[in-house]
A and B are shown apart, each in its own frame.
Chain A
């Protein structure tokens, strides 16, 4: 591979799923229903029917064009692409060629690939209608015209990718754009995303800016998943290198191949010379339509917050790590779930920990999607609140979480059913504690030398309370009691880590006595040692720090 470099371009088709109706007819835009239900005379190409452009679809297409930094045309035109196939009832597809002007030309987009920022040039993006979907059986083919006429965006990049990672990272970025801009669900499983990939290789020492140095272009049709794109690119690069090495590369004609998912290989379809002549001409039934700059400005203002902006917000405002922020924005449904939790006044860090930890862990384990499970943001926040108020332990919360999903019940209901309320009453715990002290004199003696034996006492406490003792409280009470028995003075020190964002909550809570701002506007601990009477205050400050930046050590 080192002797060669690959030039890869993509054609990405994505259905606009977020319009009520199809792009040129009033039939419902949805194919999740029974086959051949969402159709009308226009979709089926009955004689005398005429297309009527769906303005909402045009708006979404313009939005995509703006996001991709493309130039929008002054007038909207459509063209006919003429060819015969059973999935195309009219015998032509209404689409946009590069002449006179598609919905967007000559844009560019930056995307992240393995922590590097890359740039890809967009040749054009255009709006067209989808064809019917087909199922090929052994002896016959079935047609579902629900998909015929669904609005489709086709995006064509320049050959700016050099490997499969870049191409797939770009596709993932695009998917997020379509999702966040409310253009499409962009779900490859539903067939909403389909790609054609073109691959050529060239000697790595030649200048790729000069098209004369480019190798022979091979187009691979109908790659319907991102992993397929990755595999197809890698396969095709290998194949072409082998041809080079064996001296057969120059005989290879410019050609179209198709990706075969079963054999994981590309299969020859036709040479460029046999390409179909689509006989494009301007669709006469759709008068040219002026796209006013006012309209473009309005659409610009309506672009929702996209993934990169949300990611930045999560990191900066909510103090999430880059990794967590990226994990959450990677799926719009997850990000929306997260924001819903925050709007329910949940601590952003805690919500993030739950989502990236428990929730994603569960979804991955059972190969589920967030929308498939019963848990709502409200339920999650209620679980978190119950932990924070000490009503349930963190261990109990995990059981509740799983049971909410599996039994489809409200968290409060489950807590009640399972008798999971914690003992947080200090007096109650102290009376049990006294029992434990009486029963374990030798362990108390041993504790002098082995402070780790605290765990033993906590275990005893749990045993006696059947696990209902609030562990933090129990641990604190036990430690204080044991230390006073053995006459040990404890000292406490606090420190503020670099997670601090300078929110000032600890400064306020301790009234600048323990924590105060330093010259950088961040908090720092201003006492050497925390006195016994301030211990509780310091712990409150720690527990309220939104970024978890305060660490308290006891000696």
Chain B
């Protein structure tokens, strides 16, 4: 590895100075893609005929990157990691990818995800399990598993992701990198295969906060094709990062962070929360105020169910276009119903089918009030609670998950109902469309762990600045996974 472990700023400087060419970078990135594919299974497609691009003033020009395979890419296989679209080659490109390509970024591969983003393990894609580059017996989490693995393994400085519950921020945590999803609508969703439209966000996985800002600067923008997108042209994220956080106020939530809340806390959990406390101390050293706040536990406990109800309901409807009639391999049968049934039965994984059943159930007229409408009400209550916190605090800081990456062999994972909330709380960022970023903040058993910073809508710059200030004081910036194989 010569260059691909570097930051975007470093690569740009080298390119401008003529010390390296786009061609060399693309070649190296492709070689690395092939090299890690056997180990981690991170890609659906490696774009071997990727062409170098002209180097311009734009920081991303000439530099390779990866695209999560649920972004529509013209002329390039786009599967959503699903058998339903295993041969689907779109005739249009997602707006955000178009934006990157326009400034000279070079896509070199399409990364594996949990089928259509519906999963948090990185194990349900149609091309198989994605392994964690820090320890191949561990999962990357999902759904942006392939993007996380590839960035952590140093294939390129960044890959796009999408985040409906925590699909960027959780895998980033497990892979020791940065995962950022900006405010809802900052990046157009046109061309992103939908999972749950009201929760879906585009975003990016990188190895540093500044890189994340650079990439989102180039992905974002109001899009006439996405009515939920908004004009952020007055916001330059990269240039706004100055690390000045003095006087900012952060809060963390007692019900999540206090070890006394967990009756049978594992040593991993204890270590994770201890480590989180150290990060809080660091915040104070940086001149920020940090306070503990308490949130109604009952409301917090409803969070995971609210997510299941809303996301499954929207997903059921969003994926009704997958019938195999217009695109996808056409099913067999004597009439259209049999054909659709055959296609959907054969090609969707059982996990997805289960979610469709839940989604249909909660939308049925006799259940809709009890489940779907109530879930929407509780979503509003949760968002209002967080909005109230933002009146007093600049951001909420919380640990990601209950520790490091889980084992792929599920029997080795400790099942603990108490930690459900720790595993799921990032979904609030999706409920409210809040800007939210995960950065590595330490190691447990030689595996990375992370913290998350979430701010109010449109306050992306503040969130990035806090993350940048913390990152600068910790030794985990730009880290590349060691590639431990326990097999």
**A residues apposed to B, CB below 8 Å:** 41, 44-53, 80, 82, 84-86, 89-92, 277, 279-281, 284-287
Contacts and interface: CB of A to CB of B under 8 A. Distances in A.
A48 B193 contact: yes
9 contacts: A46-B72, A47-B72, A48-B191, A49-B190, A91-B322, A277-B365, A281-B363, A284-B197, A284-B198
Given A51-B227, A52-B225, A279 B197 contact: no
Given A45-B321, A284-B197, 12 more contacts: A47-B321, A48-B94, A48-B191, A48-B192, A50-B190, A84-B340, A279-B365, A281-B313, A281-B372, A284-B314, A285-B197, A287-B227
A421 to B, nearest CB: 63
A280 B322 CA distance: 19
Contacts of B80: 47
B317 interface: yes
Given A48-B192, A277-B365, A91 B321 contact: yes
A279 B227 contact: no
A84 B320 contact: yes
B322 to A, nearest CB: 8
A85 B191 CA distance: 24
Given A47-B72, A279-B317, A53 B227 contact: yes
Interface in B63-88: 71-72, 78, 80, 85, 88
A48 B321 contact: no
A92 B323 CA distance: 12
A199 B228 CA distance: 43
B222 to A, nearest CB: 12
A130 to B, nearest CB: 17
A399 B368 CA distance: 71
Contact of A41 (B91, B197, B365): B91
Nearest to B191: A48
B45 interface: no
Contact of B320 (A44, A82, A285): A82
Contacts of B340: 84
Contacts of A44: 326
Contact of B327 (A46, A52, A85, A92): A46
A293 B108 CA distance: 52
A48 B190 contact: yes
B160 to A, nearest CB: 13
Identify which of B71, B224, B326, B327 gathers the most chain A CB atoms within 10 Å of its CB: B326
B363 A47 contact: no
B58 interface: no
A91 B91 CA distance: 21
Contacts of B228: 285, 287
Given A48-B193, A86-B325, A285 B364 contact: no
Given A50-B227, A285-B228, A41 B92 contact: yes
Interface in B139-194: 189-194
B364 to A, nearest CB: 5
A277 to B, nearest CB: 5
Contacts of B372: 281
Contacts of A80: 317
Contacts of A50: 189-190, 225-227
Contact of B224 (A52, A92, A287): A52
Contacts of B325: 86, 89
Nearest to B328: A47
A275 to B, nearest CB: 10
B317 A47 contact: no
A92 B364 contact: no
Nearest to A275: B365
Indicate the member of A48, A49, A89 with the most B CB atoms within 10 Å. Answer: A48
Contacts of A285: 197, 226-228
**Which of B189, B193, B227, B319 has the largest count of A CB atoms less than 10 A from its CB?**
B227
B317 A92 contact: yes
Contact of B227 (A46, A86, A286): A286
Among all A-B residue pairs, the 9 with the closest Cβ atoms: A91-B320, A279-B363, A45-B321, A284-B198, A284-B197, A48-B191, A48-B72, A47-B193, A90-B321
Contacts of B321: 45-47, 89-91
A92 B174 CA distance: 37
Nearest to A289: B227
A100 to B, nearest CB: 12
Given A90-B320, A91-B321, A48 B360 contact: no
Contacts of A82: 316-317, 320, 363
A245 B354 CA distance: 52
A404 B372 CA distance: 67
A285 B364 CA distance: 21
Contacts of A84: 320, 323, 337, 340
A89 B321 CA distance: 6
A279 B364 contact: yes
Interface in B324-360: 325-327, 336-337, 340, 360
Contacts of B314: 281, 284
Nearest to A45: B321
B90 interface: yes
Contacts of A46: 72, 90, 92, 321, 326-327
B364 A277 contact: yes
Nearest to B91: A41
Nearest to B226: A50
Contacts of B323: 84, 86, 91
A286 B197 CA distance: 10
B332 to A, nearest CB: 15
A466 B322 CA distance: 78
B191 A52 contact: no
Nearest to B362: A279
A511 to B, nearest CB: 70
B70 to A, nearest CB: 8
Contacts of B197: 284-285
Contacts of A286: 227
B335 to A, nearest CB: 9
Given A284-B197, A286-B227, A279 B72 contact: no
